[in-house]
Amino acid sequence: MQLLERRLDNVLRRLGVGRTIWATRQIVAHGHVVVDGVKTDIASYIVKPGQTITFKEGIHKLLRENMEQGAGHNVPGWLEWNPAQLTAKINALPTPEDVPFEVNMNLIIEFYR
């Protein structure tokens, strides 16, 4: 579960910059995301503690609009989010308590077998 939570597309969804996983995948695929100073266009990229996520200047307006539509969105504790600067830092690994819904781990394991 930890690997799924740490996918770049999922991290962006948890930050609230996209309303759906599909929207965040598109933001990544179009090359708008920078991880530790390197453009990253792979949605399945696994982030690590200590890494910093920023965005290319051209996407800032859209991200701010998305964040306004999702006002009140809760960012998990393992992520540090600065909405004014549009920067995020991975502070820790996610825990099972950070997942905002009930998960049947047996089904996930069975799916990925």
pLDDT single digits (tens) 76-112: 999 999 999 999 999 998 877 777 777 777 887 788 7
Domain edges within the chain: 2-111
Q: What class is the 2-111 domain? A: alpha beta
Find the Cα–Cα–Cα–Cα dihedral 76, 59, 56, 36, rounded to 10°.
10
pLDDT single digits (tens) 39-57: 999 999 999 999 999 999 9
CA pseudo-torsion sign 47, 113, 18, 42: positive
In which band, very low, low, confident or very high, does the pLDDT at 30 lie, cut at 50, 70 and 90?
very high
